[in-house]
């Protein structure tokens, strides 16, 4: 793959590295690109000689979520959203939940919407600068319900009160709150000049941390960690996707996305 691809994939030693590479659009993703992301995560799961899968990005944001211009151009036909929303979300979320490798995310900035949801499903979370990092679930802002199992993962990882603020009021989850609740494993305190330098540091730290560990033991331990967690998130994901289908086919989200793009509607970001 070339550096101009919006999502890239490479294997570096014992790690599969997936990079969101569209910094001009704040690494926002079209719905087909979320499918592509799922394909890369699945590919990383099948690598024979890796232990780690890292999700990272370029520029100043991890991901601004769904591409507003792309979504705003979609129709509200049931057939469109059975594929674009229900099937895509169920497939992406289950692909992440079924991932057997250590799934780490290098947050060089904020993450929004479905992108924030899958951050909360990662095993390890590293941030470049917690003071400039936040997650945002703007689902009420665009007229839909929670996505990517976030109605389960947010309460699990943040506690009920913070999750309720984040999901019901579309309130930012600050890096400080993420640190307090234990979501963040390490804050690099903004000491790197670029996302690329930060990404390399995370990769180096993870390679060192997994050196001399037994891969099979890691995979078995991860499966045990997910024993109680996975069914709850999977059920939440199926219900979110089913309810969300009604939202998308109403046409309201597309209209609100168009208003966000034009500036008629204020974005919670």
The encoded tokens of residue 39 equal: 């394909």
Between CA 41 and CA 35 the distance in angstroms is 10
Extended strands (E) in 108-188: 111-112, 124-127, 134-136, 173-174, 186-187
Q: Which of 147, 189, 240, 255 is catalytic?
A: 147
Judge whether 53 and 101 are in contact, CB under 8 Å. Answer: yes
Between CA 211 and CA 112 the distance in angstroms is 33
Task: State residue 126 phi and psi, 5-degree precision.
Answer: -120, 135
* Beta-carbon-side half-sphere exposure of residue 188 (alpha carbons within 13 Å): 22
Catalytic: 147?
Answer: yes
Q: Which helix (H) or strand (E) holds 56?
A: strand 52-57
**Pair type for strands 102-107 and 111-112:** unpaired
What three-state secondary structure class fits 109? Answer: coil
What three-state secondary structure class fits 204? Answer: helix
The encoded tokens of residue 86 equal: 């229900």
Between CA 128 and CA 194 the distance in angstroms is 9
Q: Which helix (H) or strand (E) holds 247?
A: helix 229-250
Query: Which residues are the active-site residues?
Result: 147
């Amino acid at each position: 793959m070339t550096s101009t691809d919006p999502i890239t994939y490479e294997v570096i030693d014992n790690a599969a590295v997936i990079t969101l590479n569209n910094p001009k659009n704040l690494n926002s993703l079209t719905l087909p690109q979320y499918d592509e992301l799922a394909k890369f995560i699945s590919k990383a799961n099948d690598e024979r000689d890796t232990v780690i899968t890292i999700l990272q990005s370029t520029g100043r944001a991890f991901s601004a979520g769904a591409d507003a211009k792309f979504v705003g151009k979609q129709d509200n036909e049931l057939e469109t959203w059975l594929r674009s929303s229900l099937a895509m979300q169920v497939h992406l979320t289950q692909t992440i939940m079924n991932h057997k490798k250590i799934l780490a995310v290098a947050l060089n900035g904020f993450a929004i919407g479905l992108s924030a949801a899958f951050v909360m499903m990662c095993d390890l979370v590293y941030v470049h600068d917690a003071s400039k990092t936040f997650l945002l679930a703007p689902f009420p802002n665009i007229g839909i319900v929670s996505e990517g199992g976030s109605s389960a993962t947010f309460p699990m990882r943040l506690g009920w009160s913070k999750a309720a603020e984040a999901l019901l009021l579309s309130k930012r989850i600050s890096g400080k709150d993420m640190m307090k609740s234990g979501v963040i494993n390490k804050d690099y305190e903004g000491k790197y000049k670029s996302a690329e330098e930060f990404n390399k540091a995370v990769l180096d730290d993870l390679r060192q941390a997994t050196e001399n560990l037994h891969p099979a033991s890691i995979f078995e331990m991860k499966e045990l960690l997910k024993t109680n967690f996975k069914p709850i998130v999977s059920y939440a994901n199926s219900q979110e996707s089913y309810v969300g289908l009604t939202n998308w086919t109403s046409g309201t989200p597309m209209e609100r996305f168009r208003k966000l793009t034009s500036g008629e509607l204020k974005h919670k970001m």
